[in-house]
Structure 1
Amino acid sequence: MFTFPRRPARKAFTLIELLVVIAIIAILIGLLLPAVQKVREAAARMSCQNNLKQIGLASMNYESAYGYLPPSSNVSPNSVANPWESPPISGPFTSFLTYLLPYMEQQNTYNGIVAAATPGTQGFFTFNTTQGAWAYYGSPKSSDGNLTGAVPFTLNRIKSYECPSDGGLYGSVTGGIWDAFILDNGSYENDYVYDTPGFGHEWGRTNYVACSGWDGSQASSMATPPGATSPVNYQGIYYPNSKTSIVSITDGTSNTIAFGESLTGVNKGPRDFVCAWMGSGGMPTQWGLTGNPLQWYQYSSQHTGVVNFAYQDGSVHTVNTSIDYWVFQAAGGMADGIVTSAFGN
């Protein structure tokens, strides 16, 4: 009788072999994951740079239409003052980003804000007793206008005003302060919105602020920059109620910072500061750059070791946070006579 030879039994994986395979896979993941994260961050940083470039180009289109660049914020001395300031700071505080909406493919949002304005009232903030919170006021065209009806538009999240690397830009809090800060003239804070628990408003935010130079529109007694008779020589392009023309930027648009990144809202809490695009204004350069994102009053970002800046010619530069302090001040000034073409890369 013919019989077929028995096939040898297949050898199964041993436990040790299985563990070796798992270890190899884990090592590969460990090697590849940082590379993937680096690629993702590089893409996010490029997207952030593109956002700043679009904002820069929008400001140039605004200048072409009106003959001057928009102010960092619109401040009216006759408007309702924020009672939490000492001394009180008044004004509609409508930001440069609001002015630029029509040039950022956000015409509908701009039209909605303008349509909500009611002539005859002034002030960017007033206490709304019905809602129990501070409400937005002011007009993007002038210091005259009641913008309570504009609240739905101010909640819009505009992607081109947000850095994609900042995954914590939005987040729930139990009440708190939604800041629309104007960091001109060397002040730490000028205006904000108090949001009571249950109010339900989370203002559309931004990571981008206008550059006010050394100390906005005011001189400072802190120090005198090298090569300047006064810190006011380092005044930036954007400050409250400014109407800066291209001609007045004597250092050259390719040598002067226009806009930069600011990281806010890192510590979610009842007194958290975040930057709302409708109220985001200018930031002085005198506080420098920081690698610590909790220092919300300084230029900062989630990009490791660098911050992105747009120059007034529309170019974008990536700047190391260790940049020389006075080189940074010169780059922020529009008529200090010091050219900083090597600033950034």
Structure 2
Amino acid sequence: MQTNRPETKTGCRGLTVVELLVAITIMSILIALLLPAMQQAREAARRASCANHLKQLGLGMHLYSKSHGCFPPGYTAELSQDQYAKSWAWGAFLLPYLEKRPLYDTINLEKQSLTESVVDPNMIRFYQTELSIFLCPSDSGSSLSHSYRQLLVPQYLTQTKPEPENDLNNHASSELMWVYLTPSVSRGFSGISVIAHARPPIPFPVPKPKPKPKPFPFPFPDSDPDPTDDTEPEPTPDPPPVTTMPTKIGKSNYVGSLGSIWKPKQSDWSDEDFKGNGVLGRNTRVSWHHITDGTSNTFVLGERSWKNYAAVWPGVNSVNDCGFIDNQMVLGTAFYPLNQRSVSVNIDCDGTGSANFSSHHPGGANFLFADGSVHFLSDKIDFRNSDSSHQSGLFQRLAHRSDGEITGEF
């Protein structure tokens, strides 16, 4: 006997709208919890890599010191020359001790100055060499220098020509005019450099004027064709000055320590000020016995981020200036707070954030000390410069090589 059973539907039941929303919410919460942890882990790895770069630079410093008996100068200067002469900096001097001997031999800094070297159009590409040891992985800026840290080279090396439609003959009073537009600074490009070409210089030599016609031919070319003509010969003009144009060069996220000194006005700077009270300065030869505060209590290098215009490794534009294209290109000072945001750049020495130490690491920056160790200093570190207090802060004491003050824990 057969019995008829009702057919039953089989299959998977789908999610209801409420269940789907709950699942999405749970996934969102998990992502929100895990993403910051992943970002922190990545930043920790980048910070560790940055510290490793500083340790390698520290090893190069020690090898240089062993070979020369002192730390390299922050940059060199022949003070008898034009103050706008370009000069090699500590980064270039360290190249043979950083396994960059071929590059060091190519730029040949032992036989020619940076001023002499930049006139060679074949050399520009070497100054634009990206050297990873000078770059912090946390800094996402370009591997070439910021617009405010460019090297001024002869205009013919840039392979650019004046554009007639952009000619500013009625407004330009010099061979070169710089116009800077500075929008809000971000982690990327933070400045627009507009170069306005002035009237092209007179070509040299100037063609001689056609001789005046004479009424009678004179048979002796070497004789005076007209003894009665007392007109002064037109003097041959001096060659016009070489027009310069800014060119980006290799970036560095690390600057030498000038110490805790700084003067906001160019007129206030003396020769001793340019030497600084840190380990690296103009024409300095600081050796171990000069660091009386102790090598473990004095830092040599610190970070400079792209948002504060970073730095460069080859050299400086001027050996006797303190502007943003001069000693600020390779040196930093503890006169300004750590990680202070740069708010302006001008033609004087008020560096604000462009002359300080800074980084893209949250909460502070890495520093190389004279003993070769690397420490992460908090941007909340005790800060009191000489203008705000009679007693310097911990940050200033760590930058000064011989102030005799106790640093304490940091």
CA distance in 2, matches of 1:338, 1:107: 40
Residue 177 (structure 1) shift:
3.9
* Equivalent residues in 2 for 1:203-242, closer than 5 Å: 203-215=249-261, 235-242=277-284
CA-CA distance at 1:180 after TM superposition: 6.4
**Which residue in 1 is equivalent to 2:40?**
38
Q: Structure 2 vs 1, CA of residues 152 and 330 (structure 1 numbering), >3 Å: closer, same or farther?
A: same
SS of the residue 2:306 aligns to: coil
The residue that corresponds to 2:295 in the other structure is 253
**2:312 and 2:276 mapped to 1: Cα distance?**
27
Give the secondary structure class of the aligned counterpart of 2:366: strand
TM-aligned CA deviation for residue 179 of structure 1: 3.8
- In 2, distance between residues paired with 1:172 and 1:231? 26
Aligned-partner SS, 2:108:
helix
- CA gap 1:216/1:10 in 2 versus in 1, 3 angstroms: closer
Identify if the C-alpha distance between structure 1 residues 252 and 180 changes in structure 2 by more than 3 Å, giving closer, same or farther.
farther
Q: Is the 8 A contact 1:71 1:238 kept in 2?
A: yes
Measured in 2, the distance between the counterparts of 1:58 and 1:216 equals 27
* Structure-2 change in CA distance of 1:335 and 1:147 (3 Å): farther
Q: How many residues align?
A: 284
Confirm or deny: 8 A CA contact 1:179 1:275 kept in the other structure: no
Establish whether residue 263 from structure 1 lines up as the match of residue 305 from structure 2: yes
Give the whole-Å Cα distance in 1 for the aligned partners of 2:65 and 2:149: 30
Q: Secondary structure at the match of 2:123?
A: helix
Whether 1:284 and 2:255 are equivalent positions in the alignment is no
Q: Secondary structure at the match of 2:355?
A: coil
Q: Give yes or no for the alignment of 1:336 onto 2:403.
A: yes
CA distance in 1, matches of 2:398, 2:104: 31
In terms of Rg, which structure is larger? 2
Q: 1:247 to 1:118 in 2, by over 3 A?
A: closer
Q: In the alignment, does 2:106 pair up with 1:112? A: yes
- Rounded Cα–Cα distance in structure 2 between residues aligned with 1:159 and 1:203: 14
Matches of 2:144 and 2:99, distance apart in 1: 26
Are 1:159 and 2:132 counterparts?
yes
Per the alignment, residue 130 of structure 1 pairs with: none
User: Among residues 291, 304, 321, which one is paired with 2:379 in the alignment?
Assistant: 321
Aligned pair in 2 of structure 1 residues 7, 56: CA closer, same or farther (>3 Å)?
A: same
Unaligned segments of structure 1, at least 5 residues: 81-88, 125-136, 140-144, 182-193, 223-229, 267-272
In the other structure, the counterpart of 1:300 is: 358
- Matched residue of 2:365: which SS? strand
Query: For residues 172 and 324 of structure 1, do their structure 2 counterparts lie closer, same or farther at Cα, with a shift above 3 Å needed?
Result: closer
Give 1:334 shift. Answer: 1.2
**Following the alignment from structure 1 to structure 2, what is the Cα–Cα distance between the partners of residues 158 and 241?**
24
Matched residue of 2:394: which SS? helix
Unaligned runs of 5+ in 2: 153-192, 197-244, 316-328, 344-352, 384-392
Cα offsets for 1:301-320 (capped at 9, x unmatched): 11112111110110011111
* Secondary structure of residue in 2 paired with 1:90: coil
Q: Write the mapping of 1:163-174 to structure 2, written as runs, cut at 5 A.
A: 163-170=136-143
| Partner-residue secondary structure (3-state), 1:42 | helix
User: What secondary structure is seen at the aligned counterpart in 2 of 1:317?
Assistant: strand
Distance in 1 between the 2:275 and 2:70 partners? 20
Residues 138, 18 of structure 1: CA spacing in aligned structure 2 closer, same or farther, 3 A cutoff? farther
* Cα deviation code 1:80-135 (max 9, x no counterpart): 4xxxxxxxx434331101111111122222122118x875xx5x4xxxxxxxxxxx
Which SS does the other structure have where 1:301 is aligned? coil
Distance 2:253 2:38 in 1: 24
Q: Could you list the per-position Cα deviations for residues 29-69 of structure 1 after superposition, in whole angstroms to 9, with x for gaps in the alignment?
A: 11110000000111111111111111111111001011111
